[in-house]
Amino acid sequence: MKTKLFVLYGGKSVEHEISLKTALTVLQSIDRDKFDVYPVYITREGVWCHRGRLVERVTDPNDLTIPADPDLANPARSLGAVAAKLFGGGGRQVALPLLHGSNGEDGTVQGLLELLDIPYVGNGVLSSAVALDKAAAKAVLSHAGIAQAAYLAFRYADWQEEGEASIREIEASIGYPCYVKPASLGSSIGINRCEDRVQLLSAVEEAFSYDRKIVVEEEIAGREIQVAVRGNDRALASVPGEFIHDQAFFDYNEKYLAGRLAMSIPAELPEATANEIREQAIRAYQALDCAGLARVDFFLDRTGRLYLNEINTLPGFTAFSMYPIMWERTDGTRYSELIEKLIDYAFTRHADKQTIRYTRGDGQ
The catalytic residue among 187, 217, 218, 242 is 187
3-state DSSP helix/strand/coil % of the chain, to nearest 5: 40, 20, 40
Catalytic residue chosen out of the listed positions 13, 15, 19, 105: 15
Say whether 164 counts as a known binding-site residue: no
**Residue 78 annotated among the catalytic residues of the structure:** no
Amino acid at position 244, single letter: I
Cα distances from 69 to residues 80, 259, 328, in angstroms, run 13, 36, 41
Beta strands in 166-277 (DSSP E): 178-182, 192-194, 213-218, 222-231, 236-237, 242-244, 262-264
Q: How far is CA 84 from the centre of its chain?
A: 28
Does 310 belong to an annotated binding site? yes
What is the spatial distance between Cα 148 and Cα 145, in angstroms, rounded to a whole number?
Answer: 9
Residue 298, classified by CB atoms within 10 Å of its CB into exposed (0-12), middle (13-18) or buried (19+), is buried
For the chain, the residue count is 364
3-10 vs 93-97, strand pairing mode: parallel
103 assigned to a ligand binding site: no
Query: Does the annotation mark 187 as catalytic?
Result: yes
Cα separation of the two ends of the chain: 37
Catalytic (active site) residue 279: no
Annotated binding-site residue numbers: 297, 310, 312
Query: Which residues are part of a known binding site for Mg(2+)?
Result: 297, 310, 312
| Catalytic residue numbers, as ranges | 15, 187, 321
